[in-house]
Amino acid sequence: MDRRTDLLTGEPVDEETRPRERADAARNRAKVLDAAAGLFATRDPRGVTMDDIAKAAGVGRGTLYRRYPDTASIALALLDEHERRLQELLLHGEPPLGPGAPPGERLAAFYAAMVELLETHGRLVLGAESGRLRFSTGAYGFWRAHVRALLGDGGVPAPDALADALLAPLASEVYTHQRERGLGPEQITAALAHLARGVIPA
Report the CATH number that the domain containing residue 39 is assigned in CATH. 1.10.357.10
Predicted pLDDT at 11 = 52
Choosing from 48, 70, 92, the residue where a domain stops is: 70
Residues 109 and 81 in one domain: yes
Whether 82 and 156 share a structural domain: yes
Question: Do 39 and 48 form a contact (C-beta atoms < 8 A)?
Answer: yes
52 and 105, same domain (yes or no): no
Which residues constitute the domain of residue 134?
Answer: 72-199
Return the closest-CA partner of residue 81 out of 124, 43, 28, 49: 124
Considering its fold, how many domains does the chain have in total? 2
User: CB of 98 within 8 A of CB of 105?
Assistant: no
Q: Would residue 100 be called left, alpha or beta, if left means φ above 0 and alpha means ψ between -120 and 50 degrees?
A: left
Looking at per-residue confidence, does 150 or 42 come out higher? 150
Residue type at 136 in one-letter notation: S
Query: Across-strand partners of 14?
Result: 3
The neighbour count for residue 116, using CB atoms within 10 Å, is: 13
Q: Which of 186, 162, 5, 179 is nearest to 91 (CA)?
A: 5
The dihedrals phi and psi of 171, each to the nearest 5 degrees, come to -60, 140
Does residue 161 share a domain with residue 114?
Answer: yes
Residue bearing the bigger pLDDT, 21 or 1: 21
Share of the chain above pLDDT 70, in %: 84
Stated pTM of the model: 0.71
